[in-house]
Amino acid sequence: MLIQESITDFIAEIKLQINETNSFTPDGFAALEGALTKMAADNSVRVLILSSARPDFFSNGLDPHSVHGATPEQIQKLISSFFSVLKKIFLFPVPVIAAINGHAVGYGAMLGLMSDFRLLVDKGARVSFPELNIGVSLPIFVTTALEDLVGLRATRDLLFTGLAPKPPEALALGLVDELVEKEKLADRARALGKKIASLPKNATRAQKGIIRHRFAQNLDRILEEDIKQTGGLLNSPEAREGFAAMVEKRRPKFD
């Protein structure tokens, strides 16, 4: 089982348990996308909590073995799943709470970014976007969402300087909404979820749609461009070297 899923008192919960670091594989993407689709169709759900069943990782991003040595066709399929999951979280019909219990790197940080609320443990976690270090760039959709959240200057620093803020720094940047002690994180997420679930259901769903309306109007066009650009980058010599270095546990050698 790659994820745990449940619905209790109108609160849906998805816990990632793809592997030890919750690094996304094709099967991991498929499992998460299936759970999101099913829960989005359940009209009883009033809030979704996205968390991790692993003690130290929310998600460590893409599994490098899923990219290293993959054919262009396999990479194209992976990219489609990559963006489909982000879109489903971003446009989920009710508010989404990301309970980030550990490191959220690359795609893991993107999952938090697509959510409506981000709770982070107060110690032992980094939230970072290290894409440039492995020969790829952050997509238009994700970069724009990050700029909306933290501003252009902080986005610049996160992407170009390798900034991997500790929890207090992530809070100061606006990258997360609240810091919580690790042993209290699940309870805090459920308390927030319970508060949201107590709101009028139809009005809450309408408000979620209104919040996303500006983005949703052009999202398919943006994602089409992102899929094309990301596919080109992942098939490039730079990205192949970057992911090879991750698999071989060494520093990449770029021209």
Any idea where the domains of the chain sit in the sequence? 3-184
Work out whether the CA dihedral 234, 235, 237, 241 comes out positive or negative.
positive
Top-level CATH class of 3-184? Answer: alpha beta
Q: Residues 6, 35: contact at Cβ < 8 Å?
A: no
Integer angstrom CA distances of residue 200 from 5, 186, 206: 24, 24, 10
Share of the chain above pLDDT 90, in %: 96
pLDDT at 84 over 90: yes
pLDDT at 255 over 90: no
Give pLDDT, residue 33. Answer: 98
Q: What average pLDDT is seen over the chain?
A: 96
- Residue range 32-75, pLDDT digits in tens: 999 999 999 999 999 999 999 999 999 999 999 999 989 999 99
Stretch 80-89: mean pLDDT: 98
Q: Residues 211, 107: contact at Cβ < 8 Å?
A: no
Give pLDDT, residue 162. Answer: 81
How many Cα atoms are found within 13 Å in the side-chain-facing hemisphere of 89? Answer: 31
Give pLDDT, residue 229. Answer: 95
Give pLDDT, residue 253. Answer: 94
pLDDT class of 186 with cuts at 50, 70, 90: very high
Q: Which two tokens stand for residue 146?
A: 């990050």
Give pLDDT, residue 192. Answer: 98
- Residue range 101-144, pLDDT digits in tens: 999 999 999 999 999 999 999 999 999 999 999 999 999 999 99
Question: Distance between CA atoms of 126 and 81, rounded to whole angstroms?
Answer: 25
Question: Distance between CA atoms of 83 and 89, rounded to whole angstroms?
Answer: 10
Q: Residues 42, 7: contact at Cβ < 8 Å?
A: yes
